[in-house]
Amino acid sequence: MKKRSSFLFFLFLASSLLAQGSAKKYLLIEHFTNSNCPPCANRNPAFYSLITQAQYADDLHHISVHPMFPYPQCVFYQANTTENTAWTSLYPVSGTPTVVLNGATQNPTNPILTEAKLQTYLDQTSPLYINVTEFGPSSSRTVQVKAEALGEIPPGNYKIFVAIAEKTINQQTPNGETVHRNVFRKMLTAVEGGAFPVPPVGGSITYNFNYSIPPTWNASEVYVLAFVKEVDTKQVLNSGTRFDPVLSGIGEIEATQVRFLPNPTSDFARVNLPDDVAQTVEVFAANGQRVSISFENQGNVLSIPTASLAPGIYFVKIAGEKRGYVGKFVKE
């Protein structure tokens, strides 16, 4: 999931997206698995290893749903049989493990998600921005979900879904798995979704919920995931959690998002700026601290030395001769 400490990068990016009438679109991964299923134990670790890589920390939301098949004894299915079954029935899911990417059911494969497939869903935008906030003690929470239309939302039959998940559960289950991620616990809306009257451009709609946390859940790991879906096509418009940085339009910063290579990097992070040359470069650590660093232009290629940086995620703001750019890289 995302870290609030990455707010500086999104502060720069947000101003550009707001001006363009769009927000960052997160990839929503609905992951159907079963804690008694041997193929799940065989394939899930590689899947988790992929989606938890640092370079994807700001790109996706993941939730695992537990159907009754192939084993109804699954402890997470038994914890909420009705809603796990109802969620599964929204799709043509007939086996586990299966993943659904932004509403599109993927054919069962091994591995269940490749990096190439994952990357086809990145760097997209949405006319809808979803902001989730949570308040309250460990035993009881108040949740506010605000959906803002930054651009024109296409006509459709939209509904909002708000689910409670437990981020990490360390528990050995009959199939041998010991770590279970983003486990679906309970819906705050109906499992089939709640009414979502599409707001006009510049408008918003707010939902408020209250829920209690049972003692069998780890309160420090519990959070809410919200998403809006066009239910006829199953396409997800956007999603949000409380871990996401908050968009804030603080000025007209015209910026283009760019990708650094290699990523992760050890010695140098490079990016090609077509028809432009970097004039100033600012690098920020994940805690928001500005990092003092040099850079070099080799034609249109900007090169940043990274050997002296501590391992972690870094966010970059570039002022070129023609426009601004934002990006990020991971130092190994």
188 part of a folded domain: yes
Give yes or no for a contact between 309 and 331, defined as CB atoms under 8 angstroms apart. yes
* Beta-strand relationship, 104-105 and 98-101: antiparallel
Q: 290: domain CATH number?
A: 2.60.40.1220
Token pair 């990020």 in the structure block, residue:
328
287-318 pLDDT, tens digit per residue, is 556 786 789 999 889 999 999 999 888 888 88
Question: What pLDDT was estimated at residue 2?
Answer: 40
Residue 248 domain-assigned? no
C-alpha to C-alpha distance for 165 and 221, rounded to whole angstroms: 8
The position carrying tokens 């601004």 is 324
139 and 265 both lie in a single domain: no
Q: d(Cα 248, Cα 228) in Å, to the nearest integer?
A: 21
Digit-coded pLDDT (tens) for 41-95: 999 999 999 999 988 877 999 999 999 999 999 999 999 999 999 999 999 999 9
In the numeric block, which tokens belong to residue 28?
Answer: 């929503």
Domain contains 115 = yes
Boundary of a domain, candidates 214, 241, 268: 241
Q: Are residues 141 and 269 in the same domain?
A: no
On whether both 267 and 227 belong to a single domain, the answer is no
Phi, psi (deg, nearest 5) at residue 37? -95, 115
CA atoms within 13 A on the CB side of 105: 16
Expressed as residue numbers, the domain containing 288 is 255-331
User: The whole model's pTM is what?
Assistant: 0.73
* Residue 298 CB contacts under 8 Å (≥ 6 apart), including other chains: none
Q: Is 20's pLDDT higher than 90? A: no
**If you search the block for the tokens 């249109």, which residue do you land on?**
300
pLDDT at position 325 over 90: no
CATH number of the domain that residue 13 is part of: 2.60.40.10
pLDDT of res. 21:
67
* Whole-angstrom distance, CA of residue 76 vs CA of residue 165: 11
**Are both 59 and 140 inside the same structural domain?**
yes
Q: How many domains does one find in the chain?
A: 2
Last residue of a domain, one of 175, 207, 241: 241
Strands (E), 171-277: 179-187, 194-195, 204-212, 222-230, 235-241, 255-257, 268-272
Give yes or no: residues 62 and 152 share one domain.
Answer: yes
Choosing from 241, 275, 302, the residue where a domain stops is: 241
Residues 75 and 133 in one domain: yes
Residue 246 lies in a domain: no
- Check whether residue 131 and residue 94 sit in a common domain: yes
- The mean pLDDT value for 8-19 works out to 46
Helix, strand, coil content of the chain in percent (nearest 5): 15, 40, 40
